[in-house]
Every structure is written in C-alpha cells, then in structure tokens.
Chains A and B, each alone.
Chain A
C-alpha cells in the first residue's frame, strides 16, 4: 500500500498568517491527490482534488500543488475557522490511503 506522510503533524499560527502542509508519498501517485479539512465531530470536507484544483465553493485562500511524490497544501490569510485537521489522500492506486493528518491551531 502507498504510505502518505504529512508534515508537520501539528501547526500553530496566528490569524492572517500563511501556512503550508506537506504530503509525501512512498511512491508516485501522479496528480491523484486530494486534500480534506475535518473539524471535530464532522465529516471530512473536500478542499482540493487532482493535486491543485479547488473544489467548488471552497475559499481561494486554499491552494494545492505538486505531483509524483511531493505535494503541498497552502492556506493564506488564516482565519479562526481554519482551525481543523487536514488530510491528504492518494487515489492513484487502490487501496486509497490517507495521510495521518495535520492539526492546525489558530492562535
């Protein structure tokens, strides 16, 4: 199975800052990578698909990049509502797998 490793596992940043989360795959996944946001007690919400395409209705403060084995999710102009756990997911090879998650705290 393809392993996805996210870094960092925890991130704290003030309102207005820009942060970047990295997702590294144990083997190439082309651009079949998605990013999700999950808040406590809620289902994950799709933010980015195909590595860099913003899901409809998602704030343009979110952006994704990368291909192959290294991907990033960036969030600009942090807002309090961005406090959540973020997961990457590869869909190139089944079983689809998720990263372990990055918890983002807004100071």
Chain B
C-alpha cells in the first residue's frame, strides 16, 4: 500500500536550519510529485512547494524561495525539505503529500513532522 513516512520531530534554535525527510513506498516514486505543506498551531494549510522526483526540479512558493530547498534521492524513494534561517513563526507541522500531476489533488499524505523553533 502507498505510504509516505516522515522523519521525527525537531526542536531547533532561531536562525538554525532543519531537514525533514519523506520516504515513499508502495508506488513508483518518480511517477508522482511530492509536495510540502505546513500547518502552524491551530492554523490552516500552507503550500510550500513541490519537487518532481523524476527530474529533481522543484517549484517553490515565492514566500520560501530564499530559504527552502527541496531535493530527492530516487534510489531510496525519499524527498527532503531543507529550511534555513528558522524563526519562531516556522513552528508548525510539516506534511509531505503526493500528486500525480501539478493540477491533481494530494491523494496520500505523510503523518506530519512537528518542527518547533525555540530559544
């Protein structure tokens, strides 16, 4: 069955960086985009960007372009979200999700990774 399994919770200091991973299984990794969506405590959903695992090409929201990198390791079916210069407003749950095309909905989601930014 399709599964997206994310890395564990993180606590980081302000201005630090964090990496969240998303390991896919149960389908052909390169056939689906991987998106990253975050949710601040008690708030709604915010799309951060996608990566096309086939080409490695990302499409990152303008809001995050200067401090977010999205990469993948096709040999192990894993996508990565790297975010630098963390601030307290980056405290959120970070989800990965897949879609078969950019215009198609997100049919499977990871379980979420809590990132807390605190001094």
Interface residues of A (CB under 8 A from B): 32, 34, 36, 43-46, 49-50, 55, 87, 89, 91-92, 94-101
Contact = CB atoms under 8 A, between A and B. Distances in A.
B44 A101 contact: yes
B102 A55 contact: no
Interface residues of B, number: 20
B80 interface: no
B66 to A, nearest CB: 15
B109 A43 contact: yes
Contacts of A96: 47
28 contacts: A32-B103, A34-B105, A34-B106, A36-B45, A43-B95, A43-B97, A43-B112, A44-B95, A44-B109, A45-B109, A46-B106, A49-B105, A49-B107, A50-B105, A55-B105, A55-B107, A87-B44, A89-B105, A89-B106, A91-B99, A91-B103, A91-B104, A92-B103, A94-B59, A95-B47, A95-B62, A96-B47, A98-B47
Interface in B92-117: 95, 97, 99, 102-107, 109-112
Nearest to B47: A96
B88 interface: no
A44 B44 CA distance: 11
Interface in B73-103: 95, 97, 99, 102-103
B118 to A, nearest CB: 20
A94 B44 contact: no
B46 interface: yes
A65 B99 CA distance: 21
B61 interface: yes
Contacts of A44: 45, 95, 97, 106, 109
A49 B104 contact: yes
A10 to B, nearest CB: 14
Contacts of B105: 34, 46, 49-50, 55, 89, 91
